[in-house]
Amino acid sequence: MQRNHLYPIFLKMAQLKVLIVGGGNVALEKLTFLLKSSPDANVVMVAPFFRDDTLELASQFDVQLIKKKYHRKYLKGKDMVIATTDNVPVNIKVYKDCKKRNILVNVADNPPYCDFYMGGIVTKGNLKIGISTNGKSPTTAKRLRQFFEEIIPEEENINELLENLYTYRKTLKGDFEEKVEVLNALTVNLIEKNTND
């Protein structure tokens, strides 16, 4: 039986430097996805051309566009790279160049050449849920994202809940285990209350 062995993390994208290689549809999709979740992301894109939609989106955020072909010099100082060109040899070159420099890389639609996947993300205020299908089915991740967006309370409600729990957590005495027990009991009651209303 297969199991998803990926380890989910939530990155502070304003503190990382991201390079997207490519300017076509897939590049636009990845940029849109990234900026929707992290509007303060630090992104540079390099490609010989950019779609009009990409130009418009980049102008609304702090995205630097370089109208040139990919060269390894653009990797300098980058923490993550997303290769999205429709030229497989270029994408593989990006992958190899990144591996030599210990830079995390994702080659779109090519799981063997990915250190990470960009899964489905649900955001409601301060709550964020990441969904992964281990690279097997982005469509399933999308459907699950839509499901969770519908059932999770609206942003202001979830933010109020999280803020109240945060304030209460600071008043608790005892060790970590005791605090977890108290908060678990409290959140169980809140979930039961919400489902019964």
115, 127, 145, 159 from 162: Cα distances, Å:
32, 8, 20, 5
Count CB atoms within 10 A of the CB of residue 132. Answer: 19
The dihedrals phi and psi of 175, each to the nearest 5 degrees, come to -85, 180
- Each residue of 120-151: pLDDT tens digit? 899 888 889 999 888 788 788 889 999 988 88
- Each residue of 82-121: pLDDT tens digit? 999 999 999 999 999 999 999 999 999 898 999 998 888 9
Q: Is the pLDDT of residue 63 over 80?
A: yes
- Domain locations along the chain: 13-118, 155-196
Percent of the chain with pLDDT over 90: 57
Region 148-168: what's the mean pLDDT? 82
Long-range contacts (CB closer than 8 Å, 24 or more residues apart) made by 51-55? 51/23, 51/24, 51/25, 51/27, 53/28, 54/23, 54/27, 54/28
Report the mean per-residue pLDDT for the chain: 89
pLDDT of residue 2: 81
Helices (H), 68-154: 88-100, 138-151
Tokens representing 157 are 């409600």
Give the span between the Cα atoms of 174 and 190, in whole angstroms: 22
User: The tokens 């897939």 sit on which residue?
Assistant: 26
Class of domain 13-118: alpha beta
